[in-house]
């Protein structure tokens, strides 16, 4: 399923003075909104990824001229695509930059023509690989995931701070307990942190437990508490942060199609605050509908003859 909302300009963007639509802008808007155009761009992006993969094989040098010509063909097509999408906004081409995915597409397309990048093949190839990420824009599900990851950054930052403090405390404790006996693993705070970080995968837990028991049976409490706190508790906190961000991103995605008709700040451009307000209103409406359905069921049960019908049903 292709999501067109990030690419198709609103009628506000393609109409000229007096409400008349410029011919070029209207034609470009119809092209951008057409499904064949979207399918063609998706196929070209995938073909670009295939060509990049072919270049990684040693025998690709024999077809270097063909691959070079194909790369220039991709550049030309993507430039034409971006041009059509910008022209679709008519007299307000700046509105094209209001969507983050549009800005990303523009940067990836234009960066390939920066002269100094051609002196560094690694950076140039990285920019070409970034084109494949444009496929995310054509899938609402992938866009929701990316949006959720972006919105979860503040929560993830707090989680990383908490995890860092926890690892540091346990690292110092490990250095105090095992530093003299096992210097390769706990000889300093850096080695202790590396050992505990690897322990997060639980693969080294049996070996570390065996080593700890040779020092003291109380070391079992050290490793068990670390596994319970760092591996289980902190991991569940991280999952909760991401799941909450996924839910918020899904709600924003659902209300994005309604947002052009709702503008709280009157700037002509719906923003995230407007979408959240719409989402809250939808939740309120769902609550009201649930209450009405509950009252309707109660009224039906209290109507004359309802008890008699229930009695006959039970019989």
| pLDDT per residue as tens digits for the range 248-300 | 777 666 655 444 444 444 444 445 555 556 666 777 788 888 888 888 877 77
Give the model's pLDDT for residue 311. 53
Report the 10 Å Cβ neighbour count for 3. Answer: 20
Q: Using CA atoms, how far apart are residues 196 and 200, in angstroms rounded to an integer?
A: 7
Average pLDDT of the residues in 166-191: 90
Q: Please tell me whether the overall predicted TM-score, pTM, comes out greater than 0.85 for this model.
A: no
pLDDT over 80 at 208, yes or no: yes
Encoded tokens for 23: 């011919």
By the 8 A CB rule, do 278 and 262 touch?
yes
By the 8 A CB rule, do 48 and 131 touch?
yes
Q: Using CA atoms, how far apart are residues 196 and 168, in angstroms rounded to an integer?
A: 9
């Amino acid at each position: 399923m292709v999501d067109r909302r990030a690419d198709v300009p609103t009628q506000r963007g393609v109409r000229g003075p007096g409400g008349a639509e410029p011919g070029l802008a209207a034609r470009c808007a119809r092209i951008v909104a057409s499904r064949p155009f979207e399918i063609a761009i998706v196929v070209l992006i995938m073909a670009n990824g295939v060509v990049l993969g072919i270049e990684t094989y040693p025998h690709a040098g024999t077809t270097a001229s063909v691959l070079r010509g194909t790369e220039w063909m991709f550049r030309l097509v993507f430039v034409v695509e971006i041009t059509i999408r910008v022209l679709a906004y008519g007299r307000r081409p700046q509105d094209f930059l209001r969507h983050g995915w549009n800005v990303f597409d523009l940067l990836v397309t234009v960066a390939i023509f920066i002269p100094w990048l051609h002196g560094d093949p690694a950076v140039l190839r990285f920019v070409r690989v970034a084109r494949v990420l444009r496929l995310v824009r054509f899938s609402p599900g992938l866009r929701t995931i990316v949006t959720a990851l972006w919105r979860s950054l503040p929560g993830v930052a707090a989680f990383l701070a908490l995890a860092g403090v926890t690892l540091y405390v346990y690292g110092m404790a490990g250095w105090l307990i095992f530093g003299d006996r096992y210097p390769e693993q706990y000889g300093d705070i850096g080695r202790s942190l590396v050992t505990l970080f690897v322990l997060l995968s639980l693969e080294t837990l049996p070996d570390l437990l065996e080593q700890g028991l040779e020092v003291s049976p109380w070391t079992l409490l050290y490793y068990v508490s670390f596994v319970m706190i760092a591996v289980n508790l902190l991991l569940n906190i991280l999952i909760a942060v991401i799941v909450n961000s996924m839910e918020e991103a899904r709600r924003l995605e659902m209300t994005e199609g309604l947002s052009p008709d709702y503008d709280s700040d009157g700037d002509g451009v719906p923003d995230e605050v407007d979408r959240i307000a719409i989402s809250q209103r939808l939740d309120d409406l769902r609550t009201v509908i649930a209450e009405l359905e509950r009252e309707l069921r109660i009224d039906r049960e209290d109507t004359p003859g309802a008890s008699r019908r229930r009695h006959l049903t039970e019989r």
